[in-house]
Amino acid sequence: MKRAYIGISIIGILFLFGCSKNNPTSPQSGSGEMKMYMVDSPANFDAVFINVTEVDVHDATSDTTSGWHIINSTPHMYDLLSLRNGISAVLGDTMLPAGHYTQIRLILGAGSYVVINGVNYDLTVPSGSQTGIKLTNEFDIQANTTYELTLDFDANKSIVQTGNGKYLLKPTIRLVSTITSGTISGTVLPIISKATVWTVANSDTVTAYADAVTGYFKLMALPAGSYALYINAADTTMFRDTTISNVIVTSGQNTNIGTITLSSK
């Protein structure tokens, strides 16, 4: 009986060991990946630089002061006006506990500035380095999946000049889930038209400038659906405006409408 008992014990240990080996307890169990990107709409400035020191998201199960999860804590200076026509910056990429999230927070450090006619002006960010810029946006992180979110920063609407000649940064940011959105691209000729291409996504105007060398443009983070595309030349006395209707955007895909040639007046 004693030998039988020892034999059974060894078999039990081997069985448990086998289960542990085949089904390891991973530190990422119950976690999903969060990727956050930033793009920018065109603006009438030479450059806009913002210093982002931290990016966080808020867990719905916690109160307003706790439950913040860090997405990225490496400070980085972003040139917003370089993030257009298909170019984006990664704001953060990390694993998060599976669950429901309700807010995004950007902590901005000192040193942000705008360049106008070759002159640098400091950008004051109210509460940017204390409580941070909070954006309400609900999303779910599911285990073993990746959730991607794009922040479309509108620098033109976000920078406000005060009465004493100073500049404030009051961010206007559009948030769009990558899985439910797509893009529209194309080329506008002639190059000298310096065209602006825009459309309306829900209640937001999404704009792109045709590249000054190639005429290429790309409208980013558009929720899937049908869009009217408006093309306006910088000099309306030389070229006629053009509208293209029923441009279909499919989630996860780019719709290339080819070359648009504006007619001369």
- For residue 97, is the peptide bond before it cis, meaning its omega torsion is within 30 degrees of 0? no
Residues 35 and 106 in one domain: yes
CA 83 – CA 180 distance, rounded (Å): 21
Q: Report the range of poorest mean pLDDT among 20-34, 107-121, 174-188, 220-234.
A: 20-34
CATH of the domain at 34: 2.60.40
Helix (H, G, I), strand (E, B) or coil at 88: coil
Look at residue 42 and tell me if it is in a domain. Answer: yes
Contact 221, 206 (CB under 8 A): yes
Residue ending a domain, among 142, 171, 200, is: 171
Q: How buried is 151 (Cβ within 10 angstroms: 0-12 exposed, 13-18 middle, 19+ buried)?
A: buried
pTM, whole model, 2 decimals? 0.82
Nearest to 213 by CA among 240, 187, 238: 187
Number of domains in the chain: 2
Phi and psi at residue 20, to the nearest 5°: -65, -35
Residues 201 and 264 in one domain: yes
Residues 127 and 34 in one domain: yes
Residues 45 and 161 in one domain: yes
Look at residue 2 and tell me if it is in a domain. Answer: no
Residue ending a domain, among 171, 192, 224, is: 171
Mean pLDDT of 232-238: 94
Domain that holds residue 100: 28-171
Is the per-residue pLDDT at 143 higher than 70?
A: yes
Residues 262 and 142 in one domain: no
Look at residue 18 and tell me if it is in a domain. Answer: no
